[in-house]
Amino acid sequence: MPLDAISPRRAIVAESIAPAWRRPLLQLAMAWSVLLALFAGTWAEMARQWWDISTYNHILLVPAIIAWLVWQRAGQLAKLTPQAWWPGIGLVAAALFLWLLGDISGTATASHLGVVAAAQAATIALLGPRVCAGLMFPLAYAFFLVPLGEELVPSLQMITAEITIALTHASGIPALIEGVFIDTPVGLFEVAEACSGVKFLIAMIALGALVSHVCFRSGIRRAAFMALAVTLPILANGVRAWGTIYIAQTQGIAFAAGVDHIVYGWVFFAIVMAILLALGWRFFDRNVDDPFINGERIVAAKWPVWLERWKARGWSVTAGIGVAALGILLWSGDARSVEAGLPSEIALPQVNGWVRAAPQHSYPWVPQVTGADRLVSGSYRNESGQLVDVVFALYGAQEDGREAGAFGEGALPPGTEWRWLEAVPAPDGAHGERLKALGSHQRVAYTWYRHGEWTGSSRARLKLRNMADRLLSTPQPTMMILISAEDTPAGTARDALSSFVRSTAPLPEWMDAVAGLD
């Protein structure tokens, strides 16, 4: 029975697709389905962030934008003939290996990049390099599916604070700045994480890339517009923060906070977006009817010829993608089983010149350390009255939910009055930071990580070492030590911490002793 007798609508859709494209598109759909099914957990995690986290809400539009970009090329793409390509399987495997590294180390960004890159690589593998030359921008735009940007928050906070204090002084308002805190005659203002402007910056970069591609032909104009798309939201966010302070000087903090609450949202983004488009409008140099690609030119291009020597059968490549995906999943299961043996209990030892003491905090402070397999904390006091708090965490492995140095973990406890103030110099490769609560309570914290023979504060190096251990099935524990002290009338926090670190030297061996590895 002919197809149109069964489903006329399906027949019309099939006939609208060039015959040379029907089987490759079916194979690509199957490959995508396999990748989506096998790595559904990672895709679901990304989708949850798109929906639940305001910083990434704009990503919900990205799939539709990609579909539109492909549709705009459909007529020219029909002039090309898809050809499966053997090396594309290697690209898929490489992308999934990146997912593997993220999966076994608890690095969500790597695993997210991996699954997106795998879908892109599958497209190259089943349609071939010549066709994908015409799909270059839509494929590249798919990277905006990856939820990135939270790592920029601390830097953007400081930039916003500097812009705000400069504008505050320029407007004749006396003010003092300390880290992300700005003290004015009517009160103390904080450039909090929510005020960093990161969600608008990320969304504006995605918008800028789309507009640059759709509205410009000149590479110089595209680069200039992208530079504007990056700088404008940062500057505008500083102006917004200054506006809140300026209004507060005459109308009161409560009124200014209300105005800021109304303006600081997608209304603010819409205003900045309108300004960006207005500034770029007169320089648009691409006509609406201009095709995005030239099918004949791509067909005649010589550069893909040497790549097309490795052409293959589409079903074989589809099967190869499935085998690569299954192999990576099996490797992940084996690597995730690597776990270091740990002592049943750990305890903080005695320290020369110091005695264990009850904690004394002018304002309550408990660092964020979740998922540690072993955790111990305590306070030490010396004869000079200096008091130091110590938190030691021991992990048998690093993964989501039990990761030293994960985002939100460390000296700054979320959901409290404690705020990050500034980075401070720290000894022996530690990460030093100053915290502040309620405008008057300050403390300094030093953080070290230790894995194998390495001790330091680089989260990237820690992740790389854990990745290598799991890939090579070499179980080693990971340690984190956090020492902190308050500034008091009797002395500074940094003096107390320096004295304690000298008493525990060499610190790596001291950490091994606490972990029961000596």
Select from 281, 296, 314 the last residue of a domain: 281
User: What is the arithmetic mean of pLDDT over 417-427?
Assistant: 88
Global pTM value: 0.86
Say whether both 228 and 263 belong to one domain.
yes
Write out pLDDT tens, residues 357-391.
Answer: 998 899 999 999 988 999 999 999 999 899 999 99
Which residue(s) pair with 491 in the sheet? 488
Q: Is residue 481 within a helix (H) or strand (E), and if so which, with residue range?
A: strand 478-486
Residue 415 confidence class, pLDDT cut points 50, 70, 90: confident
User: What is the arithmetic mean of pLDDT over 284-304?
Assistant: 88
Say whether both 230 and 143 belong to one domain.
no
**Residue 46 domain flag:** yes
pLDDT at 124 over 80: yes
Say whether both 118 and 256 belong to one domain.
no
Say whether both 41 and 167 belong to one domain.
no
Write out pLDDT tens, residues 57-104.
Answer: 999 999 999 999 999 999 999 999 999 999 999 999 999 999 999 998
> Per DSSP, which regions of 248-350 are E strands?
none
Say whether both 99 and 68 belong to one domain.
yes
Nearest to 177 by CA among 459, 443, 436: 436
Write out pLDDT tens, residues 271-281.
Answer: 888 999 999 99
pLDDT of res. 263: 64
Task: Tell me the C-alpha distance between 405 and 393, whole Å.
Answer: 11
**Residue 295 domain flag:** no
Say whether both 360 and 429 belong to one domain.
yes
Tell me how many domains the chain contains.
3
Residue type present at position 25: L
Say whether both 473 and 488 belong to one domain.
yes
Place of tokens 């399987």: 89
Which domain does 214 fall in, by range? 151-281
pLDDT of res. 324: 97
Say whether both 142 and 159 belong to one domain.
no
Note whether 430 and 405 are within 8 A (CB): no
Write out pLDDT tens, residues 334-356.
Answer: 988 888 889 999 999 899 999 99
Question: How many other C-beta atoms can be found within 10 angstroms of the C-beta atom of residue 502?
Answer: 12
**Residue 343 domain flag:** no
Compare 14 and 504 and report the one with higher pLDDT: 504
pLDDT of res. 43: 97
